[in-house]
A = this chain, B = another copy of it.
């Protein structure tokens, strides 16, 4: 059986170009004992993958050049030499960026059984959802009635973070770019602030207008101007969960950081970076809390879907243009 998969042919400088990605086709070896063959139905593309392309170890091993790329995917078992994963089982695994994956059974998870579309386990009930929940609860230790600010608030992670925060009762403000994203936020009870055309002082002013009492929690997905403005609006004892800083992922040389970092001292604030994989032992707790809310529609989510394996690099590149609302997915 043939598999088709993407590789990268270089370590990109700056924003990756479409030419970075090559599509290959090759024959799969016979299944070994304990291996499983999966026909992928959904592929996930995520901002953190940019870090794995840089050729240096950050918090995760870098992608190898000219080897199949990896990422979360959902598919159905089509051939199996492991009794726990019979043919027909729906599974999640990291053998994405390809159509047919062949993996040891130890690297597969059977999908949970909430009444949700299967691709939800790549988004709202998958890594991005778990990331939102972890940042708010385990890192920022959000309390009832806390005022919460979220940057990248209409993205895959941010859009769940604002809803989880909203459910706990305080004022929730989301920073986003396009009018469409701002409208989505407002429709979900979130005060929406646009970063577009604003420097840090102007963004600070807009955040102060949206929440004059200031923020107890800042959920950071973006960095840059958003971070600088957020630092100006912290309450004493505030916690910043640093989930990502997408504004800078494609920078060749580091840009200067915020000039007001002393606000960390003045507001006795705490800023903490985290990687969701370090906290995966809490995934069952997350599912138990959030799964029913997705099932019954209390938590809403958006998807932006590209069709066909060939479009996977395009879907990935769109993440850096802010072109997605909610989770960016590829359907095969």
Contact = CB atoms under 8 A, between A and B. Distances in A.
A268 B258 contact: no
Interface stretch (A124-132, A171-179, A242-250, A322-330): A242-250
B273 A272 contact: no
Interface string A228-263: 000000001000001111001000011111111110
Contacts of A243: 265
Contacts of A266: 58-59, 273
A254 B268 CA distance: 19
A87 interface: no
B255 A259 contact: yes
Contacts of A256: 256-259
Given A257-B257, A259-B254, A244 B265 contact: yes
Given A256-B256, A257-B256, A257-B257, A248 B262 contact: yes
B262 A268 contact: no
A256 B242 CA distance: 20
A278 interface: yes
Interface in A276-292: 278
A259 B275 CA distance: 21
A242 B260 contact: no
A168 interface: no
A254 B260 contact: yes
A300 to B, nearest CB: 28
Contacts of A236: 59
Interface in A292-308: none
Contacts of A261: 223, 227, 245, 257-258, 261
Given A254-B260, A256-B257, A259-B254, A270 B268 contact: no
A184 interface: no
A259 B59 CA distance: 18
Interface string A89-111: 00000000000000000000000
A265 B220 CA distance: 10
Contacts of A274: 265, 268
